Homo-oligomer: A and B are copies of this chain.
Amino acid sequence: MIRSLGSVLFASLLTPTALAADPPVTPSAVVAQAPASAWRVIAADDLLVMTIAGDKRVVIQLAPAFGPRHVGNIRALAKAHWWDGTSINRVQDNYVVQWGDVTEKKALPPGLSPTSPADYVRSIANVRLAVTPLPYADPYAPATGFVDGWPVAMDGDGAWLPHCYGFVGVGRNMSPDAGTGAELYTVIGQAPRQLDRNIAVVGRVIEGMAHLTSLPRGSGDLGFYTADEKTVPILSVRLASDMAEKARPRYEVMDVGSASFADYLRLRANRKDDFYDRPAGGVDLCNAPVPIRPISVKPAP
């Protein structure tokens, strides 16, 4: 500690006037200091609130721009209260937590959209928003970046959401089944990017992830709970837009086109501070999560 403090003092002696004007040197400092203009409110229609046993709340941000048919179905399922009384049935370490109807017999509400593997990738023509590129190599895609608050992988034809930690996908049967949206999972380990473009990714967990990751792992095949183990009851799933205003979670996401986000990305790729000596010079798509924070200001009465 003494030697470390010495280094800091030595640096400050070399540049004695620089200290006050120094820019933030950690990603978290950038986030803490980002101006209000660097944040975008997440629409209440894009927030899915799942309450599980113990009244624990999990909030998922939906991504309608990337999975419009599946997200439409998920909204319809929430409005029908379809998940109430279902359960978390699978917890596979370093892979996924999965929930839905364990009986696989519960009737779906009418009017759900048909889905297909074509829904896994958005054509470039449909992604009209600006892309902030991530200028580091990715083993899974020719290009990566950030669009409208989301990380994306891209090729010449389209863009898709990656299977990052906390991202939510749609369980399905064997290909070409693409799932309805009734069976969902979230990633709880190293990003299983081999699933990209093989499954629909529809959102990400932005609150309560630890309620899912700390669940006991299932001892059955693929981490499913066996008959001797208890599934975890889901009490309710609602869109925030269907909740009383004062009960709604409210979140904002950093604008990926902002100067703050550029600083954040640069520092995620180049850690250099009292703890980090050797910057990596790069960062992977799933290791630079777009900053998201609760909105503490209450809505006007």
Residues of A that sit less than 8 Å from B by CB: 1, 3-4, 93-94, 117, 120, 136-140, 164-166, 173-177, 188-194, 196-198, 209-210, 213-217, 268-269, 271, 274-278, 280-284, 286-287
| Contact partner, A189, options B165, B280, B283, Cβ 8 Å | B165
- Chain B residues lying within 8 Å of A139, measured Cβ to Cβ, are 136-138, 269, 280, 282-284
A selection of 29 A-B contacts at a CB cut-off of 8 Å is: A1-B173, A1-B174, A3-B177, A4-B175, A93-B209, A93-B213, A117-B278, A137-B137, A137-B138, A140-B280, A140-B281, A140-B282, A140-B283, A174-B274, A174-B275, A175-B275, A193-B284, A194-B271, A194-B276, A194-B280, A194-B283, A194-B287, A196-B280, A197-B280, A198-B271, A198-B277, A210-B217, A214-B215, A214-B217
Q: How many copies does the complex hold?
A: 2
Q: Which residue of B lies closest to A271 (CB)?
A: B194
Contacts known (A165-B94, A190-B165, A209-B93); A275 close to B198, Cβ less than 8 A? yes
7 nearest CB pairs, A to B = A137-B137, A139-B282, A136-B139, A4-B174, A210-B217, A165-B190, A93-B210
Q: Which of B136, B137, B173 is the one whose CB lies under 8 Å from A4?
A: B173
